[in-house]
Amino acid sequence: MNKPQNYTVLTTTNNMPFNIGNNQKYTPSDQDIKNGLLILENNLKTNTALLELAEYKIQFFGYINDKGEKILFANHFCRNSGIDWENNWVGVDGGGNCFFEIKVNLNKKNIFDLKINDIY
């Protein structure tokens, strides 16, 4: 699968505003990302608070939870203000629906922990 320009896989937690605790990080495969994108598309298409998924750039980070399930942490944004988003975590205060985070459970094929930024 050729990687489209709208996503990247981050392999380090440097500068990320969360802690995966005792969970084990892993680097998602191309198939994991493809499956994650389908799960996101199927589950977010009715969320009217968000833009079309294709309008976002996405940073994926993978970890294995305490049940042995593969989880993708997906950071979405429509503006990156010149940040090297393919290598550095993009985090902002505010920004409204241009910025949101969500987790994808690849084993259960569901999403959880949707957090849409507030407008400041």
DSSP run (H or E) holding 33? helix 30-44
Count of CB atoms situated within 10 Å of the CB of 34 = 12
Question: Is it the case that residue 107 has pLDDT exceeding 60?
Answer: yes
Q: What is the pLDDT of residue 59?
A: 94
Q: What is the dihedral of CA 68, 89, 60, 62, to 10 degrees?
A: -20
Rounded Cα gap, residues 110 and 112, in angstroms: 7
Beta strands in the chain (DSSP E): 7-9, 24-26, 57-64, 70-77, 99-105, 110-116
32 vs 118, higher pLDDT: 32
Rounded Cα gap, residues 58 and 74, in angstroms: 6
Domain residue ranges of the chain, discontinuous segments joined by + = 7-116
Question: Is it the case that residue 1 has pLDDT exceeding 50?
Answer: no
pTM: 0.86
Q: Residue 13: CB partners within 8 Å, gap ≥ 6? A: 19, 20, 25, 61
User: Using one digit for the tens of pLDDT, what is the confidence trace for 13-58?
Assistant: 666 666 677 888 999 999 999 999 999 999 998 888 888 888 899 9
Q: Determine the average pLDDT of the residues in 72-90.
A: 87
